[in-house]
């Protein structure tokens, strides 16, 4: 590991800045303002022991993410935070998030028709709407107050991704448990394997069943198309893809929704603008992803001797892209810390950039848009039930955001097509 721990003369080794939700609930750690200005490419020590270059300016982050030839994803996306992650471990069968080039594209293109095509997303919209309306109905039945994260956002995204892939809601514990292992920063490799194994076993069985009796779901279609891929997909690879879709597909979106609604309700003028003009919802979703997306940062490895922002970087060096800092770079977005539901967010990096840009981004956009549209329409009096200072934030996970969002309301209006 020596080649990764050498620190060039004259470069101070900082501890990797961690989110500080108490002081900055909606932005990156405050030290990033200074880093962008004075040390935009700087050496840091990570909690896992990894030493890396931390890149904090928009232009540099975008350049590195956009150049998969110079900067490989092989170490793993969040290897700087996870105790169980080992950047030098061989890539497992189907572990596509660490692949590059055509090998990686083969997976993206197999999933793409299920999660990214306009036709498929149009078919998913009614499913998501039904889930959202049902959950708002449940809030109405239970009455205020509620926790918008656990009582709304998590069930909505869980039922949506489960319905998409083809896993019944009753079986959700399997991927919830796997996700808490995958995204916890303290799980070791043994605990991780134990958290993920039941889901893998379940999905192996589901792949076999859907091959014999296909249903109208993504897994059935991915299984049916598997033999015509080049080379054909193995069952291990099909399990890996569906597991990643499930595991990565609920908490990141739920947390973005809870975090975004928290920010909107904390700024009642912005909530009112949205309520008065719901056509602003899709833009607001982009603004939410710009503000909070990629809060943990992601890792690349230099494949050649190169430079970032004029700073020499050696082949084999690890690089951390501080995505949230990039999206809060005033050079890219004026008054970047301000939530603005009408902001032009084009070019934001909240879903990443380059070939590894979030593969679930279109389903996340769909879920966030449908959920937010329904909340502003059916629960216009929604407001925080506790001061922002009392809202707890999650610790020990790479999915950064609130742990609870206590909300209350006066009235919940019926769903479209429902009687009063």
Partner 1 sequence: MRVRADTALCVSTGSCALTAPEVFDLGEDDGVVVVLVESPPDEQRETVGRAVRACPAGVLSLAP
Count interface residues toward partner 1 (CB under 8 A).
27
Residue 355, interface with partner 1 (CB under 8 A)? yes
| Residue of the chain from 39, 42, 112, 311 that contacts partner 1 (CB under 8 A) | 112
Closest to partner 1 by CB, 101 vs 201, is: 101
Quote the radius of gyration of the chain (alpha carbons, Å).
Answer: 21
In the set 31, 47, 113, 176, which binds partner 1 (CB under 8 A)? 113
Q: Is 4 exposed, middle or buried (0-12, 13-18, 19+ CB in 10 A)?
A: middle
Which range in 70-78, 112-120, 146-154, 164-172 contacts partner 1 by CB under 8 A? 112-120
CB of 357 to partner 1, least distance (A): 4
CA distance 321 to 54: 6
Whether the CB-CB separation of 376 and 275 falls below 8 Å is answered with yes
Other Cβ atoms less than 10 A from the Cβ of 96: the count is 24
- Please state, as a whole number, how many other Cβ atoms lie within 10 Å of the Cβ of residue 117: 12
Residue 336 near residue 328, CB atoms below 8 Å: yes
Check residue 191 for interaction with partner 1 (CB under 8 A).
Answer: no
Q: How far is the CB of 299 from partner 1 (least distance, A)?
A: 18
x/- track of binding to partner 1 for residues 192-231 (CB under 8 A): ---------------------------------x--x---
Which of 47, 66, 137, 380 touches partner 1 by CB under 8 A?
66
Among 357, 395, 410, 414, binds partner 1 (CB under 8 A): 357
Give the contact letters, 289-328, x = binds to partner 1 (CB under 8 A), - = no.
----------------------------------------
Q: Which is nearer to partner 1, 152 or 359 (CB)?
A: 359
Residue 10 contacts partner 1 per CB under 8 A: no
Among the listed residues 359, 369, 372, 375, the single contact to partner 1 using CB under 8 A: 359
54: left (phi over 0), alpha (psi -120 to 50) or beta: beta
Spatial distance between the Cα atoms of 351 and 213, rounded to a whole number of angstroms: 35
Choose one: 148-156, 350-358, 368-376, 383-391; the region binding partner 1 (CB under 8 A). 350-358
Residue nearer to partner 1 on the CB measure, 14 or 229: 229
Residue 54 · residue 324 · CB < 8 Å? no
Stretch that binds partner 1, among 116-124, 127-135, 169-177, 320-328 (CB under 8 A): 116-124
Nearer to partner 1, 47 or 66 (CB): 66
Query: What's the Cα-to-Cα distance from 148 to each of 109, 133, 288, 292, 369, rounded to whole Å?
Result: 34, 14, 16, 17, 16
Binding mask 377-396 for partner 1 (x = CB under 8 A): --------------------
Question: Nearer to partner 1 by C-beta: 200 or 355?
Answer: 355
Rule CB under 8 A: say whether 362 interacts with partner 1.
Answer: yes
Q: Shortest distance, CB of residue 95 to partner 1, whole angstroms?
A: 17
Residue 361 interacts with partner 1 (CB under 8 A)?
A: yes
Binding-site string for partner 1 from residue 261 to residue 290, where x marks contact by CB under 8 A and - marks none: ------------------------------
Q: Provide the minimum distance between the beta carbon of 281 and partner 1 in the complex, in angstroms, as a whole number.
A: 15
Figure out which of the listed residues 10, 119, 170, 389 binds partner 1, where binding follows CB under 8 A.
119
Instruction: Give the contact letters, 85-104, x = binds to partner 1 (CB under 8 A), - = no.
Output: -------------------x
> Which residues make up the interface to partner 1 (CB under 8 A)?
66, 104-105, 108-113, 115-119, 121, 225, 228, 346-347, 352-355, 357, 359, 361-362
């Amino acid at each position: 590991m020596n080649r990764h721990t050498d620190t060039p003369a004259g470069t101070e080794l900082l501890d990797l800045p961690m989110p500080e939700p108490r002081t900055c609930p909606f932005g990156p750690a405050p030290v990033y303002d200074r880093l962008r200005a004075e040390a935009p490419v700087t050496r840091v020590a990570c909690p896992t022991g990894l030493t890396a270059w931390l890149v904090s300016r928009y232009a540099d982050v975008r350049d590195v993410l956009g150049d998969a030839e110079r900067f490989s994803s092989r170490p793993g996306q969040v290897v700087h935070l996870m105790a169980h992650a080992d950047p030098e471990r061989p890539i497992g069968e189907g572990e596509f998030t660490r692949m590059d080039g055509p090998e990686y594209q083969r997976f993206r293109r197999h999933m793409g028709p299920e999660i990214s095509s306009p036709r498929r997303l149009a078919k998913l919209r009614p499913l998501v709407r039904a889930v959202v309306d049902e959950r708002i109905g449940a809030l109405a039945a239970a009455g205020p107050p509620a926790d918008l994260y656990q009582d709304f956002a998590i069930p909505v995204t869980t039922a949506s991704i489960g319905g998409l892939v083809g896993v019944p809601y009753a079986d959700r514990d399997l991927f919830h448990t796997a996700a808490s292992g995958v995204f916890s920063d303290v799980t070791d490799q043994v605990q991780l394997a134990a958290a993920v194994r039941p889901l893998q076993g379940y999905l192996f069985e589901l792949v076999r069943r859907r091959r014999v009796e296909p249903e109208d779901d993504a897994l059935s279609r991915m299984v049916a198309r598997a033999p015509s891929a080049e080379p054909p997909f193995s069952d291990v690879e099909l399990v890996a893809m569906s597991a990643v879709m499930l595991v990565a597909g609920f908490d990141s979106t739920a947390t973005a929704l809870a975090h975004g609604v928290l920010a909107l309700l904390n700024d009642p003028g912005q909530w009112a603008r949205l309520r008065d003009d719901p056509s602003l919802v899709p833009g607001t979703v982009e603004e939410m992803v710009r503000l909070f997306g990629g809060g943990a940062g992601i890792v690349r490895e230099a494949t050649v001797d190169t430079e970032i922002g004029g700073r020499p970087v050696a082949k084999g060096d690890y690089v951390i892209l501080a995505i949230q800092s990039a999206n809060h770079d005033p050079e890219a977005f004026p008054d970047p810390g301000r939530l603005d539901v009408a902001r032009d967010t084009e070019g934001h990096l909240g879903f990443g950039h380059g070939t590894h840009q979030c593969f679930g981004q279109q389903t996340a956009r769909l879920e966030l848009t449908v959920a937010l549209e329904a909340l502003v329409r059916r629960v216009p009096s929604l407001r925080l039930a506790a001061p922002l200072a009392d809202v707890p934030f999650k610790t020990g996970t790479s999915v950064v955001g609130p742990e609870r969002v206590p909300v209350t309301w006066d009235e919940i209006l019926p769903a479209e097509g429902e009687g009063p």
